Amino acid sequence: MDATDRDRRAERARDAADRLAAEGIDGVALTWVDTSGVTRVKAVPLARLPHAAAWGAGASPVFDTFLVDDGSVLGAYAGGPVGDLRLHPDLDRLVPLAASPGWAWSPADRFDQAGEPHPLDARFLLRREMARLAGLEVRCGFEVEWCVSAGIGDEFVPATTGPAYGMIRLVELAPYLRAVLAALTAQGVLVEQIHPEYAQGQFEVSVAPQDPVGAADTVVLVQETVRAVSAAHGLRPTFAPVVVAGQVGNGRHVHLSVLRAGASGMSGGTGPYGLDRDGEAFAAGILARLPALLALGAPSVASYLRLVPARWAGAYACWGLENREAALRLIAGPTANLEVKCVDAAANPYLLLAGLLAAGRAGLAAGARLPDPVPVDPSVLAPDERADRGIDRLPETLTAAVVAFESDEVLAEALGPAVVDTVAAVRRGEIALFDGADDEAVVAATRWRH
């Protein structure tokens, strides 16, 4: 980042600040997501936005090693009290927060003090993976699930007791859900669907697909908007992988489609169910690396209390057409896409998408082919039949996922040694944090952290 770039950023920020001042904005929240999937923030007064755009707002690099409980670990490349980074707002995503009057929001890019991208900045990593796709375009969208509590303490008290997917839930919380929709729409988020989900007090918002960085930005904005609307309505939301021990939890499924020269790779081809060679190879690359990818997409000890069979969580490493028990579900139709079901909201969305793109890119480079699709719930198959079909259970613990992650050469090359070491160090820190804890204790400690 040179002087010309800094001047250009400052000038754009001055124009933006003038517009925001006319809308009654006083402060700007600059967010990034840490390795544990927690959205962190530094905020600046509106008058300070041009300086932040040019020179950044200070933030310690120690956040790369924060754990879910706000403790931290020391890795080979990150951690400890020394050093400083600069948070630069992305002015293209700067938006007033409809549910937090007087505030605007921007995702932040993290740079060092010399103006070079921080190698552990997940937004930077995702951009780099996008650039490596060599003519292939990827479109992404997230499903955002959360459970709403009416309790004032740390226990979860469902804000609605209507049945799963039931209209009763919408009726009971109609003003709240209307406010969620209104706030998201005011912020330019294109909502495709909102509905009650399966778990107690659970809802889901699905948003329109975007480029990968845009999709990750939007999922952060959606989450924090839901949080603000909930607070205004006297409710408390949780996006945690599991909210009540032993019950269905919150996923954050990723939908991906690939295009080349504007043509979809997910339909109209000669491969299985209309996949073309790009679409099949990309999907096969992801399927082959799911165990390692779980260290990015199911990154909490609590994630493995959600990732169990018979809960539509995708606990088996297989794929199928419209199969909601497969880890990868191919969705047919005019907007055909691949749904990754085995991931949740403890994930840093930028880091997860960077890993998914790297895995898909490796599949493309190898000309990978998908195994036979699985048309049934894999858990109903006999163990020997699953073995014959090559259907493996995904890692059942965070420890197993970390082992797979550290041994994966594709992810190591894509993310770099600093990211691999830091992710592994943070995951092992959480494993140690909950060593010996029962399911209820793990859930209680993580319920309100996401």
- Summary mean pLDDT of the chain: 97
pLDDT at 152: 79
Q: What is the mean pLDDT of residues 25-48?
A: 98
**Residue range 303-361, pLDDT digits in tens:** 999 999 999 999 999 999 999 999 999 999 889 999 999 999 999 999 999 999 999 99
Q: What is the mean pLDDT of residues 85-98?
A: 98
Rounded Cα distance between 289 and 395, Å, is 12
* The 3-state secondary structure of the chain, one letter per residue: CCHHHHHHHHHHHHHHHHHHHHCCCCEEEEEEECCCCCEEEEEEEHHHHHHHHHHCEEECHHHHHECCCCCECCCCCCCCCCCCEEEEECHHHCEECCCCCCEEEEEEEEECCCCCECCCCHHHHHHHHHHCCCCEEEEEEEEEEEEEECCCCCCCCECCCCCCCCHHHHHHCHHHHHHHHHHHHHCCCCEEEEEECCCCCEEEEEECCECHHHHHHHHHHHHHHHHHHHHHCCCEEECCCCCCCCCCCCCCCEEEEEEECCEECCCCCCCHHHCCHHHHHHHHHHHHCHHHHHHHHCCCCCHHHHCCCCCCCCCEEEEEECCCCEEEEEECCCCCEEEECCCCCCCCHHHHHHHHHHHHHHHHHHCCCCCCCCCCCHHHCCHHHHHHHCCEECCCCHHHHHHHHHCCHHHHHHHCHHHHHHHHHHHHHHHHHCCCCCHHHHHHHHCCCC
Q: What is the mean pLDDT of residues 240-257?
A: 97
**Residue range 216-246, pLDDT digits in tens:** 999 999 999 999 999 999 999 999 999 999 9
pLDDT at 363: 98
Sketch out the chain's domains with CATH numbers: 3-120 (3.10.20.70), 128-446 (3.30.590.10)
pLDDT at 66: 98
Rounded Cα distance between 407 and 340, Å, is 22
Q: What is the mean pLDDT of residues 27-49?
A: 98
Q: What is the mean pLDDT of residues 118-134?
A: 96
pLDDT at 317: 98
pLDDT at 263 over 90: yes
Task: Collect all residues with Cβ–Cβ distance below 8 Å to 360 and sequence separation of at least 6.
Answer: 138, 256, 258, 281, 282, 283, 285, 286
pLDDT at 3: 87
* C-beta atoms surrounding 356 within 10 Å: 28
Work out the angle between the directed axes of helices 417-433 and 398-406 (0-180°, nearest 10): 160
pLDDT at 134: 84
Q: What is the mean pLDDT of residues 292-297?
A: 98
